[in-house]
Amino acid sequence: MPLPAGPVVGTCGFAYPEWRGRFYPPELAPAEWLGFYARVFEAVELDGTFYRPPEAAQVAVWAEALPDRFAVAAKVPRAITHEARLEGEAAAGMLRAFAHALDPLGDRLLAVVLQLPPSLDADEGRERLARLLGDRPDGLPVVVEVRHRSWDRPWLAELLAAAGAGPVLADRPRFSGAPPRGSPDPDDRSTGAPPRGSPDPSGEAPWPSVAGGVGYLRLLGDRRATPVIGRPVRDRAAELDRWAALLARATPADGAAAPARRPAAAFANNRFEGAAFDTAAALRRRLGQQTPRPRELWPAPPLPGLEP
C-alpha cells in the first residue's frame, strides 16, 4: 500500500497525558491512543524512539493500530546522534538495529529523522554523516536536521542528495552558534532545559533555505515562549499561512527537499502554539484536507438514567 499522496501532516509524538480530555476521550486507555489518533491524522512522527530504541514487538503493536495507508516518521535514537555522535561502526550498527526494529511498519515508513545535536559542527560531523548515510541499510529513507550554523553551506544539499537523503526544515529559534558540548539538548524533554544560543534577531525564515522546496518540515516553536502544552497559548496563524502555501506547492519530485517518491510532510510540536493537534489540524485545513474534530469521534454519553 503506497503512502498517502501528501502533503501529510501530523504531530511530533502522540502519547501526551495533557491531551487526555482535550484530544483523547477521558476514559480512553493509553494503549488505544494511537488508533484514535489515526482516525484524525494520516501521519505521525514518533518522538519516543529518540529516547529509547523500540523493540520490533512494540513497533508491531503500533503497526497493528494503524491503517495501511498511513505515514510514520521516527526520530533516530540519541544514542546514535548525541552519544556516538554519528561516529564509526558503533553508530552504524545501532542504525541498522533501529531500521530492523521498524520493519513491522512496512510501506508506512516515511523517513527516519537524524537530528544532530546543537554542539555537533560541520568540522566534526561532515565526514561522519556522509559515512553513516552511505553505510545505512538499503532503502532506509532518512532526513537530516542540522542545528549548528557551520552546516549552513551549499555543500550540505549536495551531500544529502548524493546519499539519497533529504534536509529537515525546522521552524524554531535560529542559533547564532551552539551550546558547549555536554550542555543539555534543547529538544530533550527529559531535561526541561530551555534552548541555548540566541535567536536570529532578523526574523528571517528558518534554515536551511526553502529555495529547494519543502520536503520535511518540523514546526517546533520555542520552549521559553510556550511553557504550556495541551491547549493553545500562542497565535501563529500568519506562520501557518506561509507554511501551507509552501507545502501546497511541494511534490514528491522535490528531490532536493525530500527522499524520492515520498510525500512532503509537516509535523507540529506542542511548543509551536501550545497544542500540537490544534496546529496540525489548522495546517491541514489550510491545505484543504478534511480533518474531523476529535470530540466528534468521542463516544456519545449515555442517556440520563441509562448510565451503567
Task: Put residue 192 in one of left, alpha, beta given phi > 0 → left and psi -120 to 50 → alpha.
Answer: left
User: Given a cut of 90, is residue 192 above it in pLDDT?
Assistant: no
Percent of the chain with pLDDT over 70: 80
User: Given a cut of 50, is residue 156 above it in pLDDT?
Assistant: yes
Preceding amide of 208 cis, omega within 30: yes
Q: Average the pLDDT over 202-208 and give the result.
A: 42
User: Given a cut of 80, is residue 308 above it in pLDDT?
Assistant: no
Q: Which residues contact 167 (CB under 8 A, 6 or more apart)?
A: 143, 144, 145, 146, 156, 157, 160, 208, 212, 215, 216, 257
Q: State residue 196's pLDDT score.
A: 32
Q: State residue 307's pLDDT score.
A: 54
User: Given a cut of 90, is residue 106 above it in pLDDT?
Assistant: yes
The domain limits of the chain are 8-297
Which numeric CATH code is attached to 8-297? 3.20.20.410
Q: Average the pLDDT over 177-201 and give the result.
A: 41
**Most distant CA atoms of the chain, gap in Å:** 70
* Each residue's pLDDT tens digit, 109-121: 999 999 999 999 9
Please identify which residue in the block is written with the cell numbers 489515526: 38
Beta strands in 54-139 (DSSP E): 71-75, 109-115
* Each residue's pLDDT tens digit, 223-240: 787 866 778 888 999 999
Write down the mean pLDDT value for the chain.
85
